[in-house]
Amino acid sequence: MYEKDRPILLQKLMASSEPQSSSALAFMLNVSVKTLLKYINQLKDELMENGADILIKRGSGSVLIVYDQEKFNHYVQTLSERETDTVDSPENRKKYLLARLITENEYLNLYDLADEIYISPSSLRKDLRELKPLLERYHLILQHSHSNGYRIIGKEKDIRRCLSKEASISGIIDFLPQETIYKSKQLSLIQHVIAESLMNANISITADSCSALSLHILIAINRVETNNIISQEVSEEMRQSLEYKTALDINRSIEDIFHVSLPEAELCYFAFHINGKKKINADHSDLKEGWPQDAVIFYNLFLRSILKLSKIDLFEDKDLRANLLTHIVPFLHRLKNNMQVTQSNLSSIRDEFPFANELAVCGLSFIPKKYGITVSEEEIMYFTLHVALALERGPEARVKVNIAVISNDISSLFKLIAYRLNKTLADFINLVKLFDAKTLDSEELKKFDVILNATEMNLRFDKPTLKIQPSLSENDLHILRLLLNNLNEKFHLDKLIRPELFLEISAVSRQEALTKQIDHIRKNISLPNDFYDSVIARECMGTTEYNNKIAIPHPLNPERLPNFISICKLKKPVMWSAKPVQIIFLVCINENQALTRIFFDKISKIIQNSHLAFDLLETKNYDEFMAKFSQF
């Protein structure tokens, strides 16, 4: 795997002028320290011949030293070209094999394929086995015949979906066989043709959508050339549509340039894609009488699902309404025609706004039952973006506290204190209650988060306590505001992340890790028998894995469940869905969604910074973990 990890290792070393520890680099590459040291020695030998070196400082780590910048730059450029243009690495071999098999209708002989890429048949079998999970995501099958070899079978729409998605991820088109004429260098020309035709038809789409349509045309040309034509019924209504007429116009230009004409079924399929990607303007003349009924119903179901599962009400956000409906109209067209977006430049949105992503998944939870379809991760990201913008426009997330006021038995002064608290700090306060200093009930005081002492006595409690003037002065209010600001996050999260719910275990799979973690929680908290099933049901709606080996699983509906956050560190990472995970935050919060948002905002910093995640993994116990966690 050195060939695959070398550019990442070099990039990490180039990104810092300070020594980086072997354990930190191993974490970033998801390899053992022993393997990492082997990689460093191999890279060191290469760099010494190319104007650089790796200085290894005992106790500090490794740092890149460049003494001939021109020679080093040439090495980096050569390395980049080598990674792109050859099939020497396992990753590039798999891209080549996928491109080779998916564009061939007949079986391909194992030994012929091995000879093509200069590897042994046993190595080829291993690469082919690793292709199977990828193909299953597109409902494709790698069929094997002992006498004939291997081939990929499946519906033409699924084959194109695979080609389209993998082209955007890994550039698979440039690994197509040499006899395939049309490759990615033609994309810019096709994009120009599409943009001009859409402009003439007064159809507005985003730049990303134009790129996706260009890729669709490129794939269609290649598939038609090999007699793999899409099956699509063409109605008279479709033939009269603006999108179909635009597709005809694009086809005429494509025929002039490439001397290939797409058949009617292909043009109909392309017209569906145009319809699913066009932008809807809220002031457009065809919407003066209101939004399409199915879009309004979808909008209401989306926000109601968020409200039901998270207790967050977004119905009053008029900007969100306009933006969501604008997005929902083409989304429904894509959904009903099985043409969901499968590539996007919004891949970082989940990591940057994990709470908004959770709300988007909640909002879309009704789709499998209503439409019998699973929403793609890329489509979820677009909804995540709209929700994230709504949250940014809304008020800051705060956990409201219960305040006890200890005073001598003077009810009029208490009324003044309560009035001033509710007037100036209403966003922080859930409940204010008076306690008579002469008859304090210590058990009742345990239910309160902050205590205000308006007496002359020096009272001590095991929670934040502030001595105030009987009339609650302006200075008291200022100090109390500072206290509540500092208290808001740490105090409430610490109550949820309890020492007895922290564990470190070994596991080899997601299922084993979750089972062990939930069994551990049951020793301290009563959980319903179907708790594990509820957590898995949420995973089925969309993965809860994030960058930097973090997962945040949680039950689908936490209503009537106890409030807690359990942290599980794994001795070695496990494959969650598509990413390795080593820190599991199992979250169950049903009382206060502001606290959930605060927690996710905190986690997003770790998700986006590998050094923070590594620091958490290096901690030895609960106290060390929480001390580090509270700093973020």
Pair (290, 388) in one structural domain = yes
Residue-number span of the structural domain to which 331 is assigned: 285-393
- Rounded Cα distance between 267 and 248, Å, is 7
pLDDT in tens, 332-341: 988 888 778 7
Pair (74, 158) in one structural domain: no
Clarify whether residues 511 and 615 are in a common domain.
Answer: yes
pLDDT per position as a tens digit, 206-230: 777 788 788 888 888 878 877 888 8
The tens digit of pLDDT for each residue in 555-590 reads 988 888 998 999 999 999 999 988 899 999 999 987
- Report which residue type is found at 412: S
Residues 319 and 380 in one domain: yes
Report yes or no: 150 and 100 within 8 Å, Cβ to Cβ.
no
Kind and range of the H or E run holding 451: strand 450-453
Across the range 147-165, mean pLDDT stands at: 88
Asked whether residue 267 falls in the same domain as residue 227, the answer is: yes
Instruction: Render pLDDT for 494-541 as a digit per residue (tens, 0 to 9).
Output: 678 889 999 999 999 999 999 999 999 999 999 999 999 999 999 988
pLDDT of 286 over the 70 cut: no
CATH number for the domain harbouring residue 576: 3.40.930.10
Candidate from 185-189, 504-508, 627-631 with smallest mean pLDDT = 185-189
Residue of 154, 142, 140, 334 lying closest to 231 (CA atoms): 154
For residue 21, tell me if it sits in a domain.
yes
Judge if 520 and 608 occupy the same domain: yes
Q: Is residue 419 part of a domain?
A: yes
How far, CA to CA in Å, does 170 sit from each of 93, 173, 587?
12, 9, 34
Q: Which of 154-158, 419-423, 479-483, 511-515 tops mean pLDDT?
A: 511-515
Determine, yes or no, domain membership for 268.
yes
Rounded Cα gap, residues 160 and 139, in angstroms: 12
Distance CA 89, CA 91 (A): 5
Read off the amino acid at residue 183.
K
d(CA 164, CA 161): 5
β-bridge pairing 401-407 and 429-436: parallel
In CATH, what number is assigned to the domain containing residue 358? 1.10.1790
Contact 544, 559 (CB under 8 A): no
Give the end of a domain, one of 464, 485, 506: 485
CATH number of the domain encompassing residue 196: 1.10.1790.10
Residue 492 lies in a domain: no
48 and 101 both lie in a single domain: no
Domain assignment present for residue 491? The answer is: no
Percent of the chain with pLDDT over 90: 28
**Listed residues 371, 393, 415: the one ending a domain:** 393
36 and 67 part of one domain: yes
Same domain, 64 and 116: no
Does residue 490 lie in a domain region? Answer: no
Is the domain of 430 the same as that of 473?
A: yes
pTM, entire model: 0.69
Which domain CATH number covers 160? 1.10.10.10
Burial class (CB in 10 A: 0-12, 13-18, 19+), 52: buried
What's the number of CA atoms in the CB half-sphere (13 Å) around residue 314? 32
| Same structural domain, 100 and 57 | no
Last residue of a domain, one of 377, 393, 409: 393
181 pLDDT above the threshold of 50: no
Backbone φ/ψ region at 190: left (φ over 0), alpha (ψ -120 to 50), beta? alpha
Same domain, 81 and 99: no
In a domain, 289, yes or no: yes
Total tally of structural domains belonging to the chain:
6
- The answer to whether residue 352 is domain-embedded is yes
CA distance 628 to 502: 14
* Predicted confidence (pLDDT) at residue 100 exceeds the cutoff of 80: yes
What gap in Å lies between CA 546 and CA 530, rounded to an integer? 25
